[in-house]
Chain A
Amino acid sequence: MKIERREFLKLGAAVAVGLGGGLTLDVLTKTKPAAAETRTDVAGTRVSSKALHAKRWAMVVDASKFKTEEDFRRVKEACVKAHNIPDFGPDSKHQIKWIWEEPFERTFYGVDDPYLPEAIKKENFPVMCNHCENPPCVRVCPTQATFKRPDGIVGMDYHRCIGCRFCMAACPFGARSFNFVDPRPYIKDINPDFPTRTKGVVEKCNFCMERLDQGLMPVCVEASNGALVFGDLDDPTSDVRKILDTHYAIRRKPELGTGPSVFYLVGGGGAGA
Chain B
Amino acid sequence: MLEKALSGSRRYWAWIVFLLLLILVGFLAYMRQFEIGLGVTGMSRDVSWGLYIAQFTFLVGVAASAVMVAIPYYLHDYKRFKDIVIYGEFLAVSCVVMCILFIFVDLGQPMRIMNVILHPTPHSMMFWDMCVLFGYLLLNFIIGWTSLGAERKGFPHPHWVKVLAYIAIPWAVSIHTVTAFLYSGLPARSFWLSAIMAARFLASAFAAGPALLVIFLLILRKVSSFKVGKEALQALAKIVAYAMIANVFFFLLEVFTAFYSRIPEDMAAFQYLFWGLDGKHSLVPFMWSAAVLALLGIALLVIPRTRKNEVILPFAMAAVYLAAWIDKGVNLILAGFVPNPFGQVIQYAPTATEIMIVIGVYAIGLLILTVLYKVVLGVREERA
Residues of A at under 8 Å CB distance from B?
A: 93-95, 97, 102, 105-107, 109-110, 112, 136, 139-145, 160-166, 168-174, 177-182, 198-202, 256-258
Q: Which B residues from 3 to 53 make CB contacts under 8 A with A?
A: 36-39, 41, 43-46, 48-49
Which single member of B107, B113, B336 contacts A169 (CB below 8 Å)? B336
In the complex, the answer to whether B344 meets A144 with C-beta atoms within 8 Å is: no
Q: How far is the CA of A143 from the CA of B186 in the complex (A)?
A: 18
Q: Using Cβ atoms and an 8 Å threshold, which residues of chain A touch B127? A: 142
Which A residue's beta carbon lies closest to that of B336? A169
Given contacts A160-B119, A180-B41, 18 further A-B contacts (CB under 8 A): A93-B45, A136-B187, A140-B124, A142-B126, A145-B115, A162-B115, A163-B107, A165-B49, A166-B124, A169-B48, A169-B336, A170-B188, A171-B341, A174-B46, A178-B108, A199-B37, A199-B39, A202-B108
In the complex, the answer to whether A180 meets B188 with C-beta atoms within 8 Å is: no
Q: Which B residues from 218 to 276 make CB contacts under 8 A with A?
A: 264-265
Which single member of B48, B107, B123 contacts A162 (CB below 8 Å)? B107
Q: How far is the CA of A180 from the CA of B344 in the complex (A)?
A: 21
In the complex, the answer to whether A174 meets B340 with C-beta atoms within 8 Å is: yes
Q: Using Cβ atoms and an 8 Å threshold, which residues of chain A touch B186? A: 136, 140, 169-170
From known contacts A164-B106, A170-B186, infer whether A106 and B125 are also in contact, taking CB-CB under 8 Å: no
Which single member of A94, A145, A174, A200 contacts B341 (CB below 8 Å)? A174
Q: Please name 10 pairs of A and B residues whose Cβ atoms are closer than 8 Å in the assembled complex, sorted by A.
A: A106-B342, A140-B186, A145-B115, A160-B112, A161-B112, A164-B108, A165-B48, A182-B37, A199-B37, A199-B39
Q: Using Cβ atoms and an 8 Å threshold, which residues of chain A touch B170? A: none
Q: Using Cβ atoms and an 8 Å threshold, which residues of chain B touch A112? A: 264, 343
A103 nearest CB across to chain B (Å): 9
In the complex, the answer to whether B187 meets A258 with C-beta atoms within 8 Å is: yes
In the complex, the answer to whether B187 meets A257 with C-beta atoms within 8 Å is: yes
From known contacts A94-B45, A136-B186, infer whether A162 and B112 are also in contact, taking CB-CB under 8 Å: yes
Which single member of A97, A171, A180, A257 contacts B38 (CB below 8 Å)? A180
B116 lies within 8 A of chain A by Cβ: yes
In the complex, the answer to whether B344 meets A106 with C-beta atoms within 8 Å is: yes
Q: Using Cβ atoms and an 8 Å threshold, which residues of chain A touch B108? A: 161-165, 178-179, 199-202
Q: Using Cβ atoms and an 8 Å threshold, which residues of chain B touch A178? A: 38, 45, 48, 108
Interface SS, A side: loop
Q: How far is the CA of A181 from the CA of B35 in the complex (A)?
A: 9
A175 nearest CB across to chain B (Å): 8
Residues of B at under 8 Å CB distance from A?
A: 36-39, 41, 43-46, 48-49, 103, 106-110, 112-113, 115-116, 118-119, 121, 123-127, 130, 182, 186-189, 264-265, 336-337, 339-344
In the complex, the answer to whether A200 meets B116 with C-beta atoms within 8 Å is: no
Q: How far is the CA of A140 from the CA of B49 in the complex (A)?
A: 15
Q: How far is the CA of A173 from the CA of B118 in the complex (A)?
A: 29
In the complex, the answer to whether A102 meets B115 with C-beta atoms within 8 Å is: no
Q: How far is the CA of A168 from the CA of B41 in the complex (A)?
A: 17
Q: How far is the CA of A97 from the CA of B108 in the complex (A)?
A: 18
Q: How far is the CA of A94 from the CA of B47 in the complex (A)?
A: 11
Which single member of A106, A160, A179, A257 contacts B115 (CB below 8 Å)? A160
Which single member of A95, A106, A169 contacts B189 (CB below 8 Å)? A169
A136 nearest CB across to chain B (Å): 6
From known contacts A140-B126, A161-B109, A171-B341, infer whether A256 and B188 are also in contact, taking CB-CB under 8 Å: yes
In the complex, the answer to whether B45 meets A95 with C-beta atoms within 8 Å is: yes
Which single member of A94, A105, A107, A256 contacts B39 (CB below 8 Å)? A94
B381 nearest CB across to chain A (Å): 44
A248 nearest CB across to chain B (Å): 23
Which B residue's beta carbon lies closest to that of A200? B108
Q: How far is the CA of A264 from the CA of B49 in the complex (A)?
A: 31
In the complex, the answer to whether A106 meets B39 with C-beta atoms within 8 Å is: no
In the complex, the answer to whether A200 meets B107 with C-beta atoms within 8 Å is: yes
Which B residue's beta carbon lies closest to that of A95? B45
B205 nearest CB across to chain A (Å): 21
Which B residue's beta carbon lies closest to that of A110? B265
Q: Using Cβ atoms and an 8 Å threshold, which residues of chain A touch B119? A: 143-144, 160
A221 nearest CB across to chain B (Å): 24
From known contacts A165-B108, A174-B342, A199-B108, infer whether A143 and B121 are also in contact, taking CB-CB under 8 Å: yes
A112 nearest CB across to chain B (Å): 7
Q: How far is the CA of A172 from the CA of B103 in the complex (A)?
A: 23
Q: How far is the CA of A121 from the CA of B377 in the complex (A)?
A: 69
Q: Using Cβ atoms and an 8 Å threshold, which residues of chain B touch A180? A: 37-39, 41, 43-44
Q: Using Cβ atoms and an 8 Å threshold, which residues of chain B touch A202? A: 108
Among B49, B109, B264, B340, chain A packs the most CB atoms within 10 A around the CB of B109
In the complex, the answer to whether A181 meets B126 with C-beta atoms within 8 Å is: no
From known contacts A93-B45, A106-B342, infer whether A162 and B124 are also in contact, taking CB-CB under 8 Å: no
A262 nearest CB across to chain B (Å): 14
A192 nearest CB across to chain B (Å): 24
Q: Using Cβ atoms and an 8 Å threshold, which residues of chain A touch B103? A: 164
In the complex, the answer to whether B188 meets A172 with C-beta atoms within 8 Å is: yes
Among B43, B119, B124, B127, chain A packs the most CB atoms within 10 A around the CB of B124
Q: Using Cβ atoms and an 8 Å threshold, which residues of chain A touch B49? A: 165, 169
In the complex, the answer to whether B37 meets A172 with C-beta atoms within 8 Å is: no
Q: How far is the CA of A140 from the CA of B43 in the complex (A)?
A: 20
Q: Using Cβ atoms and an 8 Å threshold, which residues of chain A touch B342? A: 102, 106-107, 109, 174
Q: Using Cβ atoms and an 8 Å threshold, which residues of chain A touch B45? A: 93-95, 97, 168, 174, 177-178
Q: How far is the CA of A256 from the CA of B121 in the complex (A)?
A: 23
Q: How far is the CA of A63 from the CA of B106 in the complex (A)?
A: 39
Which A residue's beta carbon lies closest to that of B339? A109
